[in-house]
Amino acid sequence: MFRSLRVKQQLVKIVPDSPSISAEQLSRDAAIPITLRQINSLPENAKRRIYRPLLPASLLVQFGIDPITWKGPDGDQHIRLKALPEKNSISIAARMASDDPEDILFLELADNAMNGIDLNLLVINDPESPRFCTDQDEQGQPTLFGTARRNQGEEESAMQAGLAPAQTRASLHASRLVFEHLETFLAILGHRAYFLEPLTYASAWVFEQRGFAYVRGHKLMDDIHAEFQPGGRLHGALDGSTPFRQPEQWRTVRGRAWAIQDGILEAIGARWDGLRMVKQIGRHARVETFPQAQY
């Protein structure tokens, strides 16, 4: 092995630290990425033009939202873009009605310390599917996707309805389309990759299907798969002691995800924590930590 190789301690930023972007900067080397912070400094309509491709037009039209004006059949704005000057993040959300309390689609991106892009949150809800209040506990406190608190009654109902942890409704099954748009958008900005931290085992598995690799946690995913096999410690911990630890749950992605949400990783001295995934633009990593999985 390279016993003497040095690990780089100093992160190297390649994007100029200017707070805004000019036509002159745009005309320079197109391989140098543009940051979200730079875009956020532009006038409102310029930002809107640039961020518009993040939302798949076909998805908006499906819900009666004009993909250019972002207005619905009622003439109201149905898209909310938050891209404040001097901020290094943006969020964009689509709603069925302007006064609807819940988004159909919510996406939040941020510049990271290395001039890369983090996908902080992506929610894609089917507004016509039943809603489960897994996002609030019995006292009405936010559960933060089940990471801070839990509403076990609602979680059990959601699980029986076929949802994965952290979901309040069924998905629109549009993540592939959204990721394609996101990649095109990031390629325009000159980015080669983007990163995320999967909230649940089920979402990590979905991201694998979409072509992500692991910055951290690939071995954990392998260990989870091995330990869920018959004879493994996680398999043994599916002892029926809670509704989320039923013996057959090792067979499916969702079953494992609910058991993990219930804290079953304690059986192997691990936690669902610290995983980070990366998607290389235009490339599929072909990671499969649960071969021939049934969702």
Q: Under a CB-based contact definition with an 8 Å cutoff, are residues 55 and 90 in contact? A: no
Residue 23 or residue 113: which is nearer to other proteins going by CB?
113
Choose among 295, 243, 286, 244: nearest CA to 265: 244
Residue 126 or residue 222: which is nearer to other proteins going by CB?
222
6 binds other proteins (CB under 8 A): yes
114-133 positions binding other proteins, by CB under 8 A: 114-116
Q: How far is the CB of 63 from other proteins (least distance, A)?
A: 33
Task: Give the separation between CA 164 and CA 232, rounded to whole angstroms.
Answer: 23
Residue 138 or residue 288: which is nearer to other proteins going by CB?
288
Residue type, 103: D
Task: Give the separation between CA 251 and CA 185, rounded to whole angstroms.
Answer: 37
Question: Could you tell me whether strands 117-124 and 105-111 are parallel, antiparallel, or unpaired per DSSP bridges?
Answer: antiparallel
175-234 positions binding other proteins, by CB under 8 A: 191-193, 213-222
Q: How far is the CB of 281 from other proteins (least distance, A)?
A: 7
Residue 174 or residue 281: which is nearer to other proteins going by CB?
281
Residue 179 or residue 244: which is nearer to other proteins going by CB?
179
Task: Give the separation between CA 34 and CA 111, rounded to whole angstroms.
Answer: 10
Residue 6 or residue 173: which is nearer to other proteins going by CB?
6
Q: What is the DSSP letter of 5?
A: P
287 binds other proteins (CB under 8 A): yes
156 binds other proteins (CB under 8 A): no
173 binds other proteins (CB under 8 A): no
Binding span for other proteins by CB under 8 A among 18-26, 51-59, 253-261, 282-290: 282-290
Calculate ∠ Cα 5-11-13, nearest 5°: 135
Task: Give the separation between CA 61 and CA 58, rounded to whole angstroms.
Answer: 5
How many residues at the interface with other proteins, by CB under 8 A? 35
Burial (CB count within 10 angstroms: exposed 0-12, middle 13-18, buried 19+), residue 29:
exposed
Q: Under a CB-based contact definition with an 8 Å cutoff, are residues 126 and 174 in contact? A: no
96 binds other proteins (CB under 8 A): no
Residues that bind other proteins (CB under 8 A): 1-8, 33, 114-116, 191-193, 213-222, 274-276, 278, 280-281, 283, 285-287
